[in-house]
């Protein structure tokens, strides 16, 4: 992960450009992952951020992500937030399209985007991103 990745994530999440709040994260999930299991996720969001605070500045986010070992990231909880089922086994194409839309400045996926993502992140090459692939992601 690099600073530019963190800046992009901060821009996507922050509504005022100064901080990310729990409400910002909930609004993001409501918009891009409306069917996810993130209801009542305040505790999960705070756990995910690992700070226990109500808001996070870009500097704090950068310090946390660049200096905190990924071993303490709750991959399973994060994976479950993305997929709208009680026991998700893979990230669906629908979810990948939503992710692509959030990262694309024009809000539309390009032809071949899903294949590109699978080529990069499907570590076991089974045609889907599962929890093991998710844990191995190298952004």
Q: How confident is the model at residue 18 (pLDDT cuts 50, 70, 90)?
A: very high
C-alpha 45/C-alpha 116 separation (Å) is 29
All domains of the chain in start order, with CATH: 1-83 (1.10.238), 89-139 (no CATH)
* 27-61 pLDDT per residue, tens: 887 787 776 655 555 565 655 566 667 788 898 88
* 52-92 pLDDT per residue, tens: 677 888 988 888 777 765 545 566 777 776 776 666 788 88
Per the prediction, the chain carries an average pLDDT of 76
DSSP string, 9-31: HHHHH-SSSSEEEHHHHHHHHHH
3-state secondary structure of 37: coil
Q: How confident is the model at residue 15 (pLDDT cuts 50, 70, 90)?
A: very high
State which H helix or E strand residue 129 sits in.
strand 129-130
């Amino acid at each position: 992960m690099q600073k530019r990745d963190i800046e992009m994530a901060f821009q996507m999440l922050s509504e005022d450009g100064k901080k990310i709040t729990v409400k910002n994260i909930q609004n993001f999930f409501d918009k891009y992952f409306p069917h996810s299991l993130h209801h009542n996720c305040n505790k999960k969001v705070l756990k995910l951020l690992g700070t226990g605070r109500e808001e996070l500045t870009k500097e704090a986010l950068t310090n946390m992500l660049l200096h905190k070992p990924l071993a303490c990231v709750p991959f399973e909880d994060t994976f479950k937030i993305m997929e709208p089922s009680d026991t998700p086994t893979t990230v669906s194409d629908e979810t990948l399209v939503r992710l692509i839309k959030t990262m694309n400045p024009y809000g539309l996926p390009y032809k071949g985007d899903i294949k590109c993502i699978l080529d990069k992140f499907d570590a076991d090459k089974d045609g889907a991103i599962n929890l093991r692939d998710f844990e191995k992601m190298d952004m």
